[in-house]
Structure 1
Amino acid sequence: MTHSEPDGIADLRPVVASMHRQQKAWNWYDWANSAFYTTVLSVMFAPYMITVAGRAAGCVDADETCSRTVNLLGLHLAAGSLPSYLTSFATIVSALILPIVGAFVDRSGRKKWHMAGYAYAGAFFAGLLFFLKDDNWQLGAVAVVLSSILAGCSLVSYYAILVDISTEDERDRVSSRGWAWGYLGGGVLLAVNLTMFLLHDTFGLTEAMAVRLSLLSAALWWAGFTLIPLVRLRNYAPRNVVPVQGTILQRSFGQLFMTLRDLRNYPMTLTFLLAYLFYNDGIQTVIYAASTYGSKQLKFDQSVLIATILLIQFVAFGGALWFGRLAGKYGAYRSILWGTFAWMAIVVLALFLPERDVALFVTLAIAIGIVLGGTQALSRSFFSLLIPRGREGEYFSLYGAAERGTSWFGTLLFGVIFQITGSYRPAIFALIIFFVLGAIFLLRLDPRRGIEEAGNRVPAVV
């Protein structure tokens, strides 16, 4: 005897199963693009670009201690500072472009194609980094700027899709799994590439070729795994689109200006953006400064630092999943707030770390990995609850712009404090101000009110 549903009650199991398949497919883009951020932007590109640009500038050792300059569009830039300038330029341009991209995405019923299009264009330019060699640094400069901007554009569509494929109660779990999957994917490829780099003689490679192959592998990884969400994800029709006249580009600008004007109607959304702006800047600066602090202040050699980088990457995988469970029990808002308190404790402990104490350094790295994965994953999902339906691309572009447009504050403070004091200890401790300000804004936020003002359903646990 077959089971049948009672009259008037639909069988939702196929719908739920389909949604879970969409969520699993969505996770794969975190896995795909994280390789670019870890292998290229975080580890391999900057030291190698300094070497290549230094060689072009005529430095004997072609390293970051060289004060000679290269000419970039009439500007004479120190070879050792070139990667920082390129990253800053890409960040500023992204902050200007992303809101326009977001408005365009909201008006399109082809979000996954936008995501994949930007991803493949970004992977193409990332692949050109393979040709960064000898003293030919110009192609690499153009390639890293364009690939960084395009990666940010792809994430606008990717984040907007999260709202289409998950309910308010599922959002934290889905985002946490995606973020965890990203850390795992990025960590796997980085481990392979660092092995190839450290043992390049064993593989019959020069050090430069090992780096170039690593850069190329990140581009191929990014492009290859993007196929999975492209094939498996569905496109969803746009909702609640604000009527604006003109071409699609004019309508995109029109929606952007309308959203910026209407943002004052969502004070809790704005409050969270300000909180995120500060505590995320602190997070990014801690990650940026960790290797410098470990090598220059704590006197660890390169092998310890490389092992620590990989450890943080894999611990962050578990941290994202654990914070997802924490949010399921206590809510994303509380979990993020606790995360900012944990970051305060981390920078205080970093201040007192003794030199060459590997055990304590690794312990602190584990703490960083746990909180790193969790706060970033839940920030994405919690912000999605504060977005008016149909404006996901627009608001996530503001989220990305807030992150990218101000991410230099922390590194500037770190550098200034070091210049004043001559020590990295007060410089790393000074970053606590970003977590304190982030926590202050979070404490001023009423999550339930913010979700209701955005027109979304309040999850069972906030």
Structure 2
Amino acid sequence: MTQKYKVFSWLLFDFANTSFSVMMVTFAFPLYFKNVICAGEPSGDALWGFSVSLSMLLVALISPVLGAAADYSGKRKRFLFVFTLTSVVATALLFFSGPGTALTAAALFILANMGFEGGLVFYDAYLKELASDKSLGRVSGYGFAMGYLGALSILLLMKPLLSGGIVLSNASNIRQSFLWVALFFALFATPLFLTLRDGKREVRSPLSFAAIGRSVKEVQYTVRHIMNYPDLARFLLAYFFYNDAILTVIAFSSIYAQNTFGFTTGELIVFFMLVQTTAIAGSVVFGFVTDRIGPKRTIVITLFIWFAVVLLAILSDSKELFFYTGMLAGLSMGSSQAASRSMMARLTPAEHVTEFFGFYDGTFGKASAIAGPLVFGLVSAQAGSQRVALGSLLLFFLTGLLLMTRVGSAGSRQAFEA
């Protein structure tokens, strides 16, 4: 199997799983959850924010341990398969949701999102062995570009089902779209499981009590000693804050557009298509920029773009201006995520790659999504204004930016390898 084909199968997984992200986390399901399942009640914002936060918290708690277990056992692909299958099955089961099933639908979403987010720990860990240090930025950028292309594709495919609006009268078509998302995810994720192979090592059980106990001890050791590697610690802390804001924007963007600006379903579909298009461009272009000027400088640039995005979204007084704001958000979303993954890969030693991506994607990546959605949902429900809730995210971006300016480029990695 050629290296290029392995890289392509890895990229195709991003194409597959972003269909879940855009349909189930960003666009269709959040609106379906609030408008249909929760009958448009303001409490729907709080319950949705709680569901997102709880799923992220659970992933944050288990990811480092499972990452360490995957490194120890060499069964990274098996873990990825289990998480992917969980997400696909739970997404398909949401076909049976409807009015009056809020708790059941929330539980299924939490399970589906755990499968999606948890799988990223093992998926991202492959980057280090598929790309050289000189091409990490480009390959990471290509991955996100493929993801946004997948999101654009699923939106085009689902447009006929969603054209009737995300309302009770069109509920049967919306529920069908969840089945198609599950199929799309499963179909295009399959090549990765057929082509990638885990490295040969001593056969060890990944889920025995002894292996899990060893993994817990490794994680405890890492937590106790992580401050010995200041660049890695500062980056993870900075990532915690700015990623919190980014994930909150993603989770509430469709609700914000519809409730604040009165977007129709058709306008939302066009809006998210434009966002995915600029995100593809941002991922590719800033992938080259990252390899040229380094991931740290790239992340700082993208955070300034995010400041502009949030301010424009708050001050926008027309749909047209919000469309342009969304396009700018897509550009910064693709670039900041690709540069962050590249930064983490550069700071991580090969022998601990899945464990440390467990901290990146799990503890700091997913736990960062706990505060933002909860704060946004509660502020929105109490203040009755989503603009006020959106303004709270500026503090998260500012904190992340200040911490990011103190991060070196490779100190942590050298310290681990010493």
Q: Match for residue 129 of structure 1?
A: 94
Conserved? CA contact 1:52–1:136, under 8 Å: no
Q: Match for residue 387 of structure 1?
A: 348
- The answer as to 2:388 corresponding to 1:433 is no
**What SS does structure 2 have at the residue aligned with 1:170?**
helix
Cα deviation for residue 299 of structure 1 reads 4.6
In structure 1, distance between residues paired with 2:175 and 2:313: 34
**What SS does structure 1 have at the residue aligned with 2:126?**
helix
- The answer as to 2:25 corresponding to 1:64 is no
Conserved? CA contact 2:26–2:250, under 8 Å: no
Q: Match for residue 113 of structure 1?
A: 78
Q: Match for residue 272 of structure 1?
A: 235
1:39-58 pair list within 5 angstroms: 39-50=23-34, 53-54=37-38
Cα distance change, pair 115–415 in 1 and its aligned pair in 2 (3 A): closer
Cα distance change, pair 346–81 in 1 and its aligned pair in 2 (3 A): closer
Cα deviation for residue 141 of structure 1 reads 3.4
- The answer as to 2:315 corresponding to 1:338 is no
CA RMSD in angstroms, aligned pairs only: 2.8
Cα deviation for residue 87 of structure 1 reads 2.3
Stretches of structure 2 lacking an aligned partner (at least 5 in a row):
none
Conserved? CA contact 2:76–2:122, under 8 Å: yes
Greater helix fraction, Structure 1 or Structure 2: 2
Stretches of structure 1 lacking an aligned partner (at least 5 in a row):
1-16, 55-61, 66-77, 457-462
Task: Give CA-to-partner distance per residue, 1:48-79, whole Å, 9 cap, x none.
Answer: 3345644xxxxxxx3325xxxxxxxxxxxx56
1:320-339 pair list within 5 angstroms: 320-339=283-302
Cα distance change, pair 391–20 in 1 and its aligned pair in 2 (3 A): same
Conserved? CA contact 2:310–2:394, under 8 Å: yes
Q: Match for residue 287 of structure 1?
A: 250
Q: Match for residue 194 of structure 1?
A: 159
1:9-28 pair list within 5 angstroms: 18-28=2-12
Cα deviation for residue 333 of structure 1 reads 1.5
Cα deviation for residue 412 of structure 1 reads 4.2
Cα deviation for residue 138 of structure 1 reads 5.1
Q: Match for residue 4 of structure 1?
A: none
In structure 2, distance between residues paired with 1:303 and 1:246: 52
In structure 1, distance between residues paired with 2:98 and 2:378: 33
Conserved? CA contact 2:54–2:370, under 8 Å: no
Q: Match for residue 165 of structure 1?
A: 130
Count of matched residue positions in the alignment of Structure 1 and Structure 2: 412
Cα distance change, pair 100–328 in 1 and its aligned pair in 2 (3 A): same
**What SS does structure 2 have at the residue aligned with 1:390?**
helix
In structure 1, distance between residues paired with 2:222 and 2:275: 37
In structure 2, distance between residues paired with 1:32 and 1:127: 15
Moved more, 403-412 or 206-215: 403-412
Q: Match for residue 261 of structure 1?
A: 224
1:17-416 pair list within 5 angstroms: 18-50=2-34, 53-54=37-38, 62-65=39-42, 81-133=46-98, 135-137=100-102, 139-199=104-164, 207-237=170-200, 247-353=210-316, 355-358=317-320, 360-400=321-361, 401-415=363-377
In structure 1, distance between residues paired with 2:169 and 2:386: 34
In structure 2, distance between residues paired with 1:364 and 1:280: 19
Q: TM-score, normalised by structure 2?
A: 0.89
Structure ID, larger Rg: 1
Q: Which has the higher contact order (CA 8 A, sep 6+)?
A: 2
- The answer as to 2:407 corresponding to 1:445 is yes
Cα deviation for residue 425 of structure 1 reads 3.9
Cα deviation for residue 106 of structure 1 reads 0.9
**What SS does structure 1 have at the residue aligned with 2:87?**
helix
**What SS does structure 1 have at the residue aligned with 2:2?**
helix
